[in-house]
Amino acid sequence: MSTVEDELKGYQGQARAKLSEWKVRVWSDVQLTNDAGSVFEGVILPRSGNFDDLHIVIKMKNGYNIGIHVDRVTKIKEIGYKKAVYKIPEKEFPQSPDLPSVTLLGTGGTIASRLDYRTGAVIPAFTPGELYGAVPELADICNLKTEKLFGVFSENMAREQYLILAEKIGQEIEAGVDGIVIGHGTDTMGHTAAVLSFMVQNSPIPIVTVGSQRSSDRPSSDAALNLIHAVRAAAYGDIAEVQICMFGPTSDRYGLIHRATRCRKMHSSYRSAFRTIGDTPLGVVSADRFEYLTDDYLPRDPKRQVKIDARYDDRVTILYYYPGMDPDLIDAIVEKGYRGIVIAGTGLGHVNKPIYPALAKAVAQGVHVVMTVQTLWGYAQMYVYDTGRDLLDLGVVPLDNMLPETAFMKLCWVLGHTDDHDQVLKMMRDPVNHEITDREPHNGYLILQGGLPETEEYVSSHWK
């Protein structure tokens, strides 16, 4: 018989300790009592690597799963045990000599998870065999190799993961793959894609990040289609930049390819959550079509030598300005040793007068302070109002139309190279990959993204 320890697989840290303490395991039928005296009856479910170590998950008799925080558990009693076997059917991914080779690097997120119908547990699905079992179309597109680098929800991505990812991409390119796909949680996919644009320069091949808003067990899931589009963009697309490939419209007609430095998650739950800001998307991809919306991109060129520049200093923060902000906040950031502050200012790039002295002090101490705009669209233009001019005089540097998160990731990357103020500012203002552009396209505002022509169509059908 397996030991209790064997049966705790998937549980870590405090949740694992709690289960051990009460000598129960995954698949135990239990009565769990919490600190309010409520008793929950059900089966302890396995946990996937994507979850925290503070919750025990029970499938209750009514079919619902509930996660109970370990601190609230006062007693767990085993009343039965029946091991369940769960597994996604694996099929061997076929290899075909005529097809391009793509490497899928997994970092976690919803796209790497699926629900097991019977138990309701969220389990990771990531081996090539599992993916092929779930999305057989992939085998018609390419020869796919998969590697799970991490299994985290994307809010847990940070310095260490970015560095590993960039190095790994370099190795895959050296090994000669035709395209790379990075499976990622959608929440911070924009951040990761942006920093990879700085860490991986001159790529010969497409590097496509992809996620899903809804896990693959749900009928409305975008996981399979996003994956198919992303794998096509990696295998056959001509854009050798870091890009984001996600649902275009709310329907599943096509996916949009976005430039990493200009893209943002703009909705918490729509499948069409990702939008190019201040520009048009790079392209449209569907099951049988590519449409490039610009020719201003780095084209695929297998002979190009990639440059991996994986450096990152995370002593940087974003200050999202709000009316009445207190200067103490800036003093505290500086005292704590932060080296860079990205301000997301109001309008054309403003903050209130009372924080000017604190900003001046920060700059005098060598902290690099840059300005972006909360409006997301448009440019920081600090010479328009005298308040903006004052900030320029204090040494706050405008970053034109660089998105706040892109500016944050770039400042971390730049500070990984130098702390010399002039150097830092020069690197920040020198675009690596379109993070600052000369102008927004005249019709770029939400074009093809719920804006024109969709908006006109909507308005004319409702306003007759």
What residues make contact with ligand ASP under the rule CB under 6 A? 109-110, 153-154, 185-187, 211, 213
Distance CA 46, CA 131 (A): 20
Q: Which of 18, 59, 265, 410 is catalytic?
A: 265
Would you say 223 or 411 has its CB closer to ligand ASP? 223
Would you say 182 or 306 has its CB closer to ligand ASP? 182
Q: Which of 29, 178, 187, 279 is catalytic?
A: 187
- State the residue for tokens 């299994």: 151
Distance CA 216, CA 457 (A): 32
* Number of neighbours of residue 96 by Cβ within 10 angstroms: 10
Following CA atoms 359, 362, 364, 367 in sequence, which dihedral angle do they give, to the nearest 10 degrees? Answer: -120
Question: Half-sphere exposure of 166 toward its Cβ, with a 13 Å CA cutoff?
Answer: 26
Closest approach of Cβ 286 to ligand ASP, in Å? 22
Six token digits for residue 89: 């059917």
Would you say 22 or 270 has its CB closer to ligand ASP? 270
Would you say 7 or 187 has its CB closer to ligand ASP? 187
Closest approach of Cβ 186 to ligand ASP, in Å? 3
Q: Where are the alpha helices (DSSP H) in 245-327?
A: none
Closest approach of Cβ 371 to ligand ASP, in Å? 28
Closest approach of Cβ 154 to ligand ASP, in Å? 3
DSSP 8-state class, residue 346: B
Distance CA 19, CA 379 (A): 54
Closest approach of Cβ 110 to ligand ASP, in Å? 3
Question: Burial code of 97-131, b = ≥16 C-beta within 10 A, e = fewer?
Answer: eebbbbbbbbbbbbbbbbebeebbbbbbbbbbbbb
Would you say 212 or 401 has its CB closer to ligand ASP? 212
Q: Where are the alpha helices (DSSP H) in 216-327?
A: 223-236
Helix axes 386-394, 356-364, angle to 10 degrees: 30
Closest approach of Cβ 122 to ligand ASP, in Å? 11
Closest approach of Cβ 367 to ligand ASP, in Å? 30
Closest residue (Cβ) to ligand ASP?
A: 185
Question: Half-sphere exposure of 280 toward its Cβ, with a 13 Å CA cutoff?
Answer: 18
Q: Which of 103, 110, 261, 280 is catalytic?
A: 110
* Number of neighbours of residue 65 by Cβ within 10 angstroms: 16
Classify the C-alpha dihedral 381-383-384-387 as positive or negative: positive
Is residue 187 part of the annotated active site? The answer reads yes
Is residue 110 part of the annotated active site? The answer reads yes
Would you say 186 or 372 has its CB closer to ligand ASP? 186
Q: Using alpha carbons, select from 184, 183, 9 the residue that is nearest to residue 86.
A: 9
Q: Where are the alpha helices (DSSP H) in 175-285?
A: 189-199, 223-236
Q: Where are the alpha helices (DSSP H) in 103-188?
A: 128-134, 138-141, 159-174
Going by C-beta distance under 8 Å and a sequence separation of 6 or more, which residues neighbour residue 57?
Answer: 44, 45, 47, 65, 66, 67, 68, 121
* Number of neighbours of residue 177 by Cβ within 10 angstroms: 20
Would you say 122 or 396 has its CB closer to ligand ASP? 122
Q: Which of 186, 209, 261, 280 is catalytic?
A: 186
Would you say 128 or 185 has its CB closer to ligand ASP? 185
Distance CA 98, CA 95 (A): 9
Query: Which stretch of DSSP H or E encloses residue 411?
Result: helix 404-415
Closest approach of Cβ 106 to ligand ASP, in Å? 12
Is residue 186 part of the annotated active site? The answer reads yes
Known catalytic residues are 110, 186-187, 265
